[in-house]
Amino acid sequence: MCRLAAITSKDYISPLEPILALETMKEGHDGSGLGLTLKDLGGEFEKLKKYPVLSGICSQDGKKTLDAYMKSRGFTLKHEWRPKIKPVKGIAARDHYFARAYDYPAAFKNRSLPEKEDLLMHTRLGIRKVGEPDGSIFAFSFYPDVITLKEVGDPLEVAEFFGLDKDSLSARVVLAQGRQNTNYAIYLYACHPFFIQGYCSMTNGENTAFVPIREFLSGRGFPGYMGYNSDSEVFTHILHYSVRQLGFPLPYYKDVITPLKAAEIEQREDRDAIRLMKQSLRPLCIDGPNMVIGFTPDGTCFMVQDSKKLRPGVVGGVKGRYALMSEECGVDSAVPKRDREKDFYPMKYDMVIISPQAQEVKVWNQLHG
Amino acid sequence: MEPASRLDHNHKLSLREFPYIIRWRDDRCKRCGRCTAVCPVKAIVPSVKVMRSVHSEGPIPTPGSTRRTVQVVEQVTNMERYCTGCGTCALVCPNEAIEPEFNPANKLLHYKNKGGDGYKRGGRRNDPSISTLDRLKFTRISMLTDPALDAGRHEFRIRTLLGRVLAPEAMPLSVVNGKLGIDARNNIFVPPVREIYPIMIGSMSIGALSPPMWEGLAMGVAYLNEVEGMPVVMCSGEGGMPPRLLRSKYLKYFIIQIASGYFGWDEIIHALPHMIEDPAAIEIKYGQGAKPGDGGLLMAQKVLKLIAKIRGVPQMVDLASPPTHQTKYSIEEAVAKMIQSMSMAWGFRVPVYPKISGSKTARAVLNNLARNPYAAALSIDGEDGGTGAAYNVSMDKMGHPIASNLRECYLDLVKQGKQNELPLIAAGGVGKKGNLAANAAALIMLGASAVSIGKYIMQTASDCFGDENNRCNLCNTGQCPRGITTQDPKLYRRLDPDKVAERVVEVFKSADTELKKIFAPMGRSTELPIGMSDGLSIDDKAMAERLGISYAC
């Protein structure tokens, strides 16, 4: 089972913090990889918030290809962060790990956000298409104020490899995932968290309904719904589809992935709408066992369970700093000084929603809407 | 001089030509006559033979003979009265003195065309081999990486949707104060959708079935809905429905079929103003898996008083539904019109969908329907479907297997992103070897929203003798020895409708349990695993490739 650690905070935090929380949850072999997504960036990116950041990895040749590709698309490099790699046994270093802030092409500078988002996504997909066949470039995210890091290995060792303990990289929201005991031939595009146009999520557990969900998303005619090297990527895309594409308020994500039974729907004030949703979005119903942690473009974080609550998950913290973890010891590591009585273990109807900068926690109950 | 043919019997067929050979035991038979009386085809007759025995007696044995007459049961060698192997004789024999034995070397089809007409029968394709559906295995088992569910403890939702489902992008929703509501401003038509059990009872008409058989099925369906809470629906078949049922609250459990003969529709149309419930759906029959491209046929011997009344026709006439609807000159226009007309008759409150035979052309039909917002589903009936009457050649040689036909249709919808919008109903050979739940689950995972069963439920609920070795298959003759497909009261009084209903309930309840036993280890419980093709494997590479699933051996 994958371990998940997320911290949302009003102050900038080091990405090492959720990785240390992951470490407390470690049991058994854990060398399958680490994925990190940072949102609402601090440090050297604090003044670059309006510029999209391309996160990825490339080879020497890939770097040339990437530079040429970005130039041809009209993007100009504003700033580049590169981790100070410290060789760690067992982790094969690749040539270039990077997070590059670019300025938009001139024609897009005054465009609307959705237009810019589409440009960024198409650019990322274009890079992926160019770099994937020979493995010369991996592009994980390309979006303002977001950085994604991924590498195969034990999470703590990967953090050491990236030199995160000594780096000034920081963010207000950090999602970290450690893969455990699944496939040995780990492909970087299969590592959580997954990101698309401001929406991000990571999941533990298998997704038994993966194929029908993937086929449904692939048929939406949206180019970003691709990849699916992991069965968990669909959770991110369902989030994006529900909230961005269909315009549903965030709690309805829960109604999409774990629809209520007919009799339960009748208790809801918005029953007419969710009855219709349940039909039209039937293939997006998950069957677990899954716990999903994610964030939306405004920095809202959430945790949600499958309808049988087959995976652990806990949220705890204080105003200004909340931890969303797959296990209690992770919360203890991230926010040791808190009232543990107020920790919340979302059950099958619950969705925990934490407002940006960890100001407010709401537990939304699906039965009551 | 006596003709040679009388001496050598050269004009007669030998019993070796017959599909079933009667094994009669002189030593056990008490000559009660029940077997010969009950035989539906008069393939056995009581006969008197002269037995000559030769014996030698005396100190110098001298041969002498005596003659005596004995009563025997004899199989006739007339192909018009061939033994169908139904075994009714064995059923009524008090001493186990008689039974038919299948003769695999038979030459029935060489001779069953007397008078220049091809062999007609009921049943389904005479192919006892293992079907594709029975070769499919469920191989994605939740083992440690995710917990297998408990079929006995977890809550399962084995339901499906019948009706056109709106594309998510077309849902008339708007957000008010953070909540979603229906936005009536755009006046978007929301098609009717029924939540039903994914195994439906397919179209078998009153007429093809005897009154107690049809009634038994109907009672079973009503019980499943009202008492067991399982929303099983049943299709009327072509030939109308009992007038009282049309006006009852139970109509909602029935799909009314309209086919090319429009039999029974006069009564249905007249009942329309008096209906207190809408039917579950309307099925427009364009084809049938057992006899694709061929029309319906109810033979004159089954058109007795009740059937004649319900269908609005004279008694004792062959009722042939044409192979095609007379109004159907193009799918683009005529089928759309028919769907529209039927929808309009019930105020657009009832899903209307066509049923076709499995065919290479199924995708063309599908794509037309996919563009018709009023088409509620597509039902595809594969070659292993059954029928009450058809030419043997239609049953044995015409049609398309359901598995690949369904799969290519589903994948076509997937390409268009419409797999949830137009439900596919798969039929034809589901439960052929008795594996109802496994066949249904396999078809669902290949992309069916629901499956339809006809012959399986008929056989199981009423102990039908028929099989794929051409056993019995007398459905067309009106001589059904079980009373299932006959309109002769002397025969159908053998069938107790309550027992039929009881069996229907038992079959569905056990299938429900078995479906859970399939879905639970695969980690599926909350939604029907439609299109979960990663769960399936087959032991043939070509089949695996054709179906887009994995090969496992």
- How far from B394 is each of B64, B113, B383, B465, CA to CA, in Å? 59, 15, 9, 21
Q: Which of B:127-146 have CB within 8 Å of A?
A: 140, 142, 145-146
- Mark which residues 147-166 of B lie under 8 Å from A by CB: 147, 149, 154-155, 157, 161, 165-166
Q: At how many degrees (to 10) do helices B455-462 and B211-226 cross?
A: 100
Eight-class DSSP state of B340: H
Res A31: pLDDT: 65
- CB-nearest to A212 from B182, B193, B530 is B530
CA B119 to chain centre: 20
Is residue B184 pLDDT above 80, yes or no?
yes
Closest by Cα among A307, A369, A257, A301 to A4: A301
pLDDT on residue B146: 72
B312, pLDDT greater than 90: no
Q: Are A308 and B190 an interchain contact pair (Cβ–Cβ within 8 Å)?
A: no
Domain spans, chain B? 12-54+64-118, 135-551
* Least Cα separation, residue A367 to chain B (angstroms): 14
| Partner-chain contact B146 A208, CB within 8 Å | yes
**Mean pLDDT score, B192-202:** 98
Element (H, E) at B90: helix B88-92
Predicted local distance difference test score (pLDDT) of residue A259: 96
Least confident interval from A48-57, A210-219, B181-190, B450-459 = B181-190
How far apart CA A361 and CA A335 sit, in angstroms, is 15
CB-CB: which of B161, B170, B524 is closest to A287?
A: B524
Give the number of other CB atoms < 10 A from CB of residue B546.
15
**Interface contacts (A, B; CB < 8 Å):** 128
The order of strands in the sheet holding B536-538 is: B137-138, B536-538, B550-551
Lowest mean pLDDT among B66-75, B121-130, B290-299: B290-299
d(CA B411, nearest CA chain A) in Å:
9
Whether A273 sits inside 8 A of B149 (CB atoms) is: no
SS3 B333: helix
pLDDT at A182: 57
Whether chain B has a CB inside 8 Å of the CB on A266: the answer is: no
A212 contact residues in B (CB cutoff 8 A): 529-532
pLDDT the model gives residue B144: 76
pLDDT at position A97 over 90: yes
Instruction: Please check the confidence at residue A229 and state whether its pLDDT lies above 60.
Output: yes
Q: What sign does the CA torsion over A124, A129, A133, A134 have?
A: negative
Helix segments in B355-401, DSSP class H? 362-370, 392-397
Q: Provide CB contacts within 8 A for A114, sequence distance 6+.
A: none
Rounded to whole angstroms, the Cα distance separating A57 from A83 reads 11
The pLDDT of residue B151 is: 80
Evaluate if residue B231 carries a pLDDT over 90: yes
Q: What torsion do the CA atoms of A92, A95, A99, A101 make, to the nearest 10 degrees?
A: -170
Q: Which residue of B has its CA nearest to A256?
A: B168
pLDDT of B96 higher than 70: yes
Give mean pLDDT, residues B413-442.
Answer: 97
Q: What is the pLDDT of residue A184?
A: 58
Q: What is the pLDDT at residue A33? A: 80
Sign of CA dihedral A159, A164, A166, A170: negative
Asked which of A337-341, B65-69, B300-304, B466-470 is least confident by mean pLDDT, the reply is: B300-304
Q: Is residue B1 over pLDDT 80?
A: no
For chain A, give the secondary structure using H, E and C. Answer: CCEEEEEEEEEEECCHHHHHHHHHCCCCCCCCCEEEEEEEECHHHHHHCCCEEEEEEECHHHHHHHHHHHHHCCCEEEEEECCCCCCCCCCCCCCEEEEEEEECCHHHCCCCHHHHHHHHHHHHHHHHHHHCCCCCEEEEEEEECEEEEEECCCHHHHHHHCCCCCCCCCEEEEEEEECCCCCCCCCHHHCCCEEECCEEEEEECCCCCHHHHHHHHHCCCCCCCCCCCCCCHHHHHHHHHHHHHCCCCCCHHHHHHCCCCHHHHCCCCCHHHHHHHHHHCHHHCCCCCCEEEEECCCCCEEEEECCCCCCCCEEEEECCEEEEECCHHHHHHHCCCCCHHHCECCCCCEEEEECHHHCCEEEEECCCC
In Å, how far is A35's CA from the nearest CA of chain B?
20
Q: B525 to chain A nearest CA, in Å?
A: 7
- For residue B4, name the pLDDT band (cuts at 50, 70, 90): low
Supply B223's token pair: 């019980």
pLDDT at B478 over 70: yes
The radius of gyration of chain B from alpha carbons, rounded to an integer in Å, stands at 27
State the complex-level ipTM. 0.94
Q: Using only the alpha carbons of chain A, give its radius of gyration.
A: 20
Q: Name the more confident of B186 and B169.
A: B169
The reported pLDDT for the residue numbered A30 is 66
Task: Flag whether residue B529 sits within 8 Å of chain A, measured between CB atoms.
Answer: yes
pLDDT for res A170: 96
Q: What is the per-residue pLDDT for B6?
A: 66
**Could you tell me which residues come within 8 angstroms of residue B456 by beta carbon, excluding any fewer than 6 positions away?**
B430, B431, B432, B434, B436
Give the confidence band of A169 by pLDDT, cuts at 50, 70, 90.
Answer: very high
pLDDT at A154 (0 to 100): 86
> What per-residue confidence (pLDDT) applies to B5?
60
Question: Token digits for B464?
Answer: 């039908």
Select the residue of B167, B180, B415 nearest A270 (Cβ to Cβ). B180
Q: Which residue of A has its CA nearest to B146?
A: A206
pLDDT 10s digits, A171-208: 999 999 987 655 556 788 988 999 999 999 999 888 99
Place of tokens 């009423």: B462
Q: Can you tell me the mean pLDDT for B297-323?
A: 88
At B51, is the secondary structure helix, strand, or coil? strand
Q: How confident is the model at residue B155 (pLDDT cuts 50, 70, 90)?
A: confident
Q: How much is the average pLDDT of A71-81?
A: 97
Residues of chain B with pLDDT > 70: what percent? Answer: 98
Instruction: Say what angle helices A113-131 and A60-72 make with each other, to 10 degrees.
Output: 150
Tell me the domains of chain A and their CATH numbers: 3-365 (3.60.20.10)
Which residues are CB-neighbours of A105 under 8 A, at least 6 positions away? Answer: A73, A74, A75, A119
Residue A344: the pLDDT is: 96
Dihedral pair phi/psi, residue A57, rounded to 5°: -140, 140
Burial A118-141 (b: 16+ CB within 10 A, else e): bbbbebbbbbbebbeeeebbbbbb
Query: Which pLDDT belongs to residue B149?
Result: 81
For the residues B461-480, what does the mean pLDDT come to? 95
> So what's the pLDDT on residue B322?
86
Tally of helices (H runs) and strands (E runs) in chain B:
18, 23
Band the pLDDT of B371: cuts 50, 70, 90. Answer: very high
Instruction: For A137-168, write each residue's pLDDT tens digit.
Output: 999 999 999 999 999 888 899 999 999 998 88
Residue B447's region, left for phi above 0, alpha for psi from -120 to 50, else beta, is: left
Selecting from B146, B180, B418 the residue whose C-beta is nearest the C-beta of A248 gives B180
Q: Are A248 and A296 in contact (CB under 8 A)?
A: no
Give B2's pLDDT tier (boundaries 50, 70, 90): low
Query: What pLDDT does residue B88 have?
Result: 97
Mean pLDDT of the region B84-94 = 97
Q: Is residue B467's pLDDT more than 70?
A: yes
Q: What is the mean pLDDT of residues A288-309?
A: 94
CA distance B179 to chain A (A): 7
The pLDDT score that the predictor gives to residue B541 is 98
pLDDT in tens, B494-521: 999 999 999 999 999 999 999 999 999 9
B12-54+64-118 fold: Alpha-Beta Plaits (3.30.70)
The model's pLDDT over B515-542, given as tens digits with 9 standing for 90+, comes to 999 999 999 998 999 999 999 999 999 9
Topology (CATH level 3) of domain B135-551: TIM Barrel (3.20.20)
